[in-house]
Chains A and B, each alone.
Chain A
Amino acid sequence: MANQPRVERLGRYAGILALPVLAAGLYLGLLWAPPDAMMGDVQRIMYVHFPSWIAVALAYTTGFVASILYLVKRQARLDYWAQAGIEVGLVFNISGLITGSLWGRPTWGVYWTWDPRLTSTAIMAITFAGYLVLRSFIEDPDTRSRVAALVATVGFLNVPIVYFSVKWWRTLHQPQSNPSTVDPAMVLPLRIMMVAFTLLAYYLMTRRYLLAEAEGSIERESLRMEAANG
C-alpha cells in the first residue's frame, strides 16, 4: 500500500503529459505529414494503428512479468499489475484489430485476411479475454490470483508459437516498415504517437491498478467481516 501515492502521482503525470503529445501527434499525422504515395489519406490510420500495437506489447508484457513475479512472491499488488496490464492490453489489442480492419478494407479490398499477424493477434485477444472472464468466475482472491497468473503466463508464452504456426500457414501482410523505408515526414508523427500511446497505456494501467487495489482491499475487508461474524 506504501507505493500507492507514488503510482497515482506517476500515472497522473503520464496522463497529463499524454494529452499534448497525443494532440501534437494527431495534428502532425493527420494534417502535416504527406499522404502516402499509393494509399493516399487512408494510410494516415497508421498513426493510430501502429502505436496501438506498441501499447499492446507494453501492457501484455507488464501483465506477463507481473504474473510470473506473483507466482514467485505472492504479493497482491503484483496480481493487480497483472490484471491492469492484461486489461489495458486487451483494449489496445481490440483497437489495433479494428483500425487494422478499417485500413485493410480500402487497401487490400477486405476487412479481414488470414494473414499471420492478424490471425495471431486475434487469437491473442481471445486468450486474454478468456483470462479476464476466468477471473470473474473465481471467488477466493488467492485462488483467483494464482490461477490467473498461470493462465496469463502460458497464454503469453503461446503467442510466438501461434504467430509462427500461422505464419507458416500463410502470409500476406505488408513487410514491416522501418524508418529507412518510410518518409522522414511520416516517421516524426509516428514516433510522437508511439510516445503518446506509451504514456496513455501507462496512465490507464496505473488507473486500473489503483482500482484493482481498491477492489482488493474491499474484498479482503468483507472476507474478514464474514470470518469475524462466523
Chain B
Amino acid sequence: MSGSEWRRVWTVVWKDTLTERRTKAAFNAMAFFAGMVLLIFAFALGPDTPGIGPMGQTLLQYVSPGLLWVAIMLTAVLALGRSFQIELENGALEGLRLYPGERRSIGIGKILSNVLTLAAMELLVVPIGAVLYNLDLWSKLPALAGVLFLATIGLAAVGTFYAALTVNLRAREVMLPLLLFPVMVPVILGAVKATNLILNGSLMQDELGTWVRLLIVFDVVFVTVCTLTFEYVLEE
C-alpha cells in the first residue's frame, strides 16, 4: 500500500468520524441500547443470585464476561448497520464509488472507522457493566484492553463486509444479524474465553494464549479476505 492509498483511507475515516461527531446519531442510540441490554441481563438473572465456584461471586459477576460480549455483539450490529446506511442518503454511496483509486482503500477506511465506533461503544459498555455488576476491573485493564482491541478488529472487518453487502436490501435489519452472527462465532468464543480467564482469575497463561492466537488468526484472515473482496462488494 502506497502513501497516497493510506491518505485515501484516512480521508474515509475522517469523513465518517466527522459525520458521527456532528450527528451523534449512532453513538447515542448505541449507548442507551447497550446500557439497556446490560440492565436486562440483571433482570433476567437476578442481581443477587449466588454464582457457582469458590469465590463467593454473584451469578452476574460469574457470567459477566459472556454478558459483556453479548451486549457488545448486539450493539455492534446496530453500529455496523449504521455505517453504510448513512451512505444511502443523498446518494452518498454513489459518491463513495466514484472515489478515485482502489476500492480496497474505501474498505480499509470503513473498517477503521468502524473500529473507532466500536471502541467508543466498548469504552461505555465495559465501565457500565463493571458498575452494574460490581466487577473489579482496574488491575486487569491492560489485558482486557488487549482482548477488546483484537476482537474489535475482527468484528469490524466482518461487520463492514456484511453491512456493505446488505445495505441495499429491503430486509437489511434482518439479514445483517442473520449473516453476521454465525461468522462472528469464533471471535465471540475467543473473546469470552479470554475475558473469562482475565476476570475470573486463575490465569492459565497457556490457555489465554490459545484464545489470543485464535483472535489474531481470525483478524488476519478476515481483514485480508474482506479487504481483497471489497472491490466486488462495492460494485454497482
- Residue numbers of A with Cβ under 8 A of B are 71, 123-124, 126-127, 130-131, 133-134, 137-138, 143, 146-147, 149-151, 153-155, 157-158, 161-162, 164-166, 168-169
Contact check, B232 vs A150: say whether CB atoms are below 8 A apart: yes
- Residue numbers of B with Cβ under 8 A of A are 158, 161-162, 165-166, 168-171, 175, 178-179, 181-183, 185-186, 189-190, 193, 210-211, 214, 217-218, 221-222, 225-226, 229, 232-233, 235
Q: Which of A149, A154, A162, A166 contacts B161 (CB 8 A)?
A: A154
A and B contact pairs by CB, cutoff 8 A, 27 listed: A71-B232, A123-B182, A123-B185, A126-B178, A126-B182, A127-B179, A133-B175, A134-B166, A134-B169, A134-B179, A137-B169, A137-B175, A138-B169, A149-B232, A150-B161, A151-B165, A153-B225, A154-B222, A154-B226, A157-B225, A161-B186, A164-B186, A165-B185, A165-B186, A165-B214, A166-B185, A168-B210
Contact check, B218 vs A161: say whether CB atoms are below 8 A apart: yes
Would A127 and B183 be within 8 Å (CB), given that A157-B225, A165-B189 are in contact? yes
Contact check, B217 vs A161: say whether CB atoms are below 8 A apart: yes
Contact check, A158 vs B182: say whether CB atoms are below 8 A apart: yes
Give A169 to B168 CA distance when docked, in angstroms.
Answer: 36
Give A57 to B222 CA distance when docked, in angstroms.
Answer: 22
Give the 7 A-B CB pairs with smallest separation, nearest first.
A165-B186, A127-B182, A130-B178, A126-B182, A130-B179, A165-B189, A161-B186
Q: Which of A126, A130, A149 is the most central at the interface, judged by chain B CB atoms within 10 Å of its CB?
A: A130
Q: Closest residue to B231 on the A side, CB-wise?
A: A71
Contact check, B186 vs A130: say whether CB atoms are below 8 A apart: no
Which residues of chain B have C-beta atoms less than 8 A from A151's C-beta? 162, 165, 179
Give A158 to B158 CA distance when docked, in angstroms.
Answer: 11
Which residues of chain A have C-beta atoms less than 8 A from B179's C-beta? 127, 130-131, 134, 151
A151 to chain B, nearest CB (A): 6
Contact check, A146 vs B183: say whether CB atoms are below 8 A apart: no
Give A153 to B183 CA distance when docked, in angstroms.
Answer: 12
Give A164 to B210 CA distance when docked, in angstroms.
Answer: 11
A120 to chain B, nearest CB (A): 8
Give A164 to B218 CA distance when docked, in angstroms.
Answer: 11
Which residues of chain A have C-beta atoms less than 8 A from B175's C-beta? 130, 133-134, 137
Give A150 to B163 CA distance when docked, in angstroms.
Answer: 13
Q: Closest residue to B230 on the A side, CB-wise?
A: A150
Give A162 to B154 CA distance when docked, in angstroms.
Answer: 14
Contact check, A133 vs B178: say whether CB atoms are below 8 A apart: yes
Contact check, A154 vs B235: say whether CB atoms are below 8 A apart: no
